[in-house]
Amino acid sequence: MSAATTRSRTPRTPDRLCAEAVELARAAAEEAAAPGIVGEHVSVVAEGDRVVTHFFECREPGYRGWRWAVTVTRASRAKLVTLDETVLLPGPDALLAPEWVPWSERLRPGDMGPGDLLPTDAEDLRLEPGYTGEDAPPPNSVLSEELADLAEAEDAALTDRVVVPERGSIAAVAEELGMRRARVLSRYGLHTAADRWDESYGAKTPMAQAAPASCVSCGFLVKIGGSLGQAFGVCANEFGPADGRLVSLSYGCGGHSEAAVMPKPPRPAPPVLDSMRADEFPLRPTPDEGQIPPPDTTSADLGHS
């Protein structure tokens, strides 16, 4: 019988001899704990007929609110109380570790590092089977489905190349549509991805709200194919906030190619050159050397007068 499994039962009166065996219980708790860790006797609880648990305060700093629980018992018509079990249990206000969460629920975008492997659930709703094999050889064909797969795999291994399906076959069409993979994105996966991208780079973001124009008219937008191309494109403006990201066509930023035209720098006036007159430069200093000669107001640009 364990104290942990019986605490929720209806309280009953503890057996008197077992309830009085506090020192026996304390000695057992001190034997299990480190010296000085067992504190005051807190309470006594009846677990069953002649089965009682004594609780002692735990003084371990890392186990605040925990209690040493020592269960004692005695046989019917016997006066000797014996030890059943000793265990450390959390009290009502004990400091506990957070509830354990599986790694698959703890994982967040950006948690993966180089070399990490992220297994995908076989029932992952974001994926669905790709090429269905509708044009596989009929059952009575000389080349059964298993043999065809085997031959194809061996051929690929020997030649070290990707097997190209026969032109015009369903496999060729599936290849062209990008469906010839074990699994492809499901409708659910597509919608959740679109919602996620729209949240980060969509019309409701503050950047888009303040943008002078939307991505749909921006020269930096790279169009993409498929159904997603109707709502998204890739931004290729290295100075924009979404360079290399999938952006909603209704997103936008101040880096829009046509939003603001760079003003042309002002052209300086052509230099004025008087090439018709000779300037005089005296070889010797003039008597009033040291004084700055007055400007020559008679000089004129003949080409512009």
**In whole angstroms, what is the distance from residue 266 CA to residue 284 CA?**
44
Q: Give the nearer residue to ligand SF4 in terms of CB position, either 185 or 247.
A: 247
The residue from 55, 56, 220, 232 that contacts ligand SF4 (CB under 6 A) is: 220
| Count of residues interacting with ligand SF4 (CB under 6 A) | 14
Q: Give the nearer residue to ligand SF4 in terms of CB position, either 69 or 247.
A: 247
Does residue 249 bind ligand SF4 (CB under 6 A)? Answer: no
Q: Could you give the 3-state DSSP secondary structure of residue 290?
A: coil
User: Left, alpha or beta for 244 (phi > 0: left; psi -120 to 50: alpha)?
Assistant: left
Give yes or no for a contact between 75 and 50, defined as CB atoms under 8 angstroms apart. Answer: yes
Q: Give the nearer residue to ligand SF4 in terms of CB position, either 165 or 233.
A: 233
Does residue 242 bind ligand SF4 (CB under 6 A)? Answer: yes
Does residue 25 bind ligand SF4 (CB under 6 A)? Answer: no
The residue from 251, 260, 278, 299 that contacts ligand SF4 (CB under 6 A) is: 251
Burial 90-101 (b: 16+ CB within 10 A, else e): ebeeeeeeeeee
Does residue 252 bind ligand SF4 (CB under 6 A)? Answer: yes
Does residue 202 bind ligand SF4 (CB under 6 A)? Answer: no
Does residue 255 bind ligand SF4 (CB under 6 A)? Answer: yes
Query: What's the token pair of residue 142?
Result: 């000389």
The residue from 14, 165, 202, 240 that contacts ligand SF4 (CB under 6 A) is: 240
How do beta strands 183-185 and 127-129 pair? antiparallel
Cα 81 to chain centroid distance, Å, stands at 58
Find the shortest distance in angstroms from Cβ 293 to ligand SF4. Answer: 60
Find the shortest distance in angstroms from Cβ 108 to ligand SF4. Answer: 25
**In whole angstroms, what is the distance from residue 205 CA to residue 237 CA?**
18
**In whole angstroms, what is the distance from residue 243 CA to residue 257 CA?**
13
Kind and range of the H or E run holding 235: strand 232-235
Q: Give the nearer residue to ligand SF4 in terms of CB position, either 163 or 222.
A: 222
**In whole angstroms, what is the distance from residue 205 CA to residue 211 CA?**
10
The residue from 235, 263, 273, 278 that contacts ligand SF4 (CB under 6 A) is: 235
**Which range touches ligand SF4 (CB under 6 A), out of 15-23, 140-148, 213-221, 266-274?**
213-221
Does residue 218 bind ligand SF4 (CB under 6 A)? Answer: yes
DSSP structure string for 28-71:
HHHHHSPTT-EEEEEEEEEEETTEEEEEEEE--GGGTTEEEEEE
The residue from 58, 72, 215, 246 that contacts ligand SF4 (CB under 6 A) is: 215
Q: What are phi and psi of 230, to 5 degrees?
A: -75, -20
Find the shortest distance in angstroms from Cβ 196 to ligand SF4. Answer: 17
The residue from 33, 51, 221, 246 that contacts ligand SF4 (CB under 6 A) is: 221
Binding site for ligand SF4 (CB under 6 A): 215, 218, 220-221, 235, 237, 240, 242, 247, 251-253, 255-256
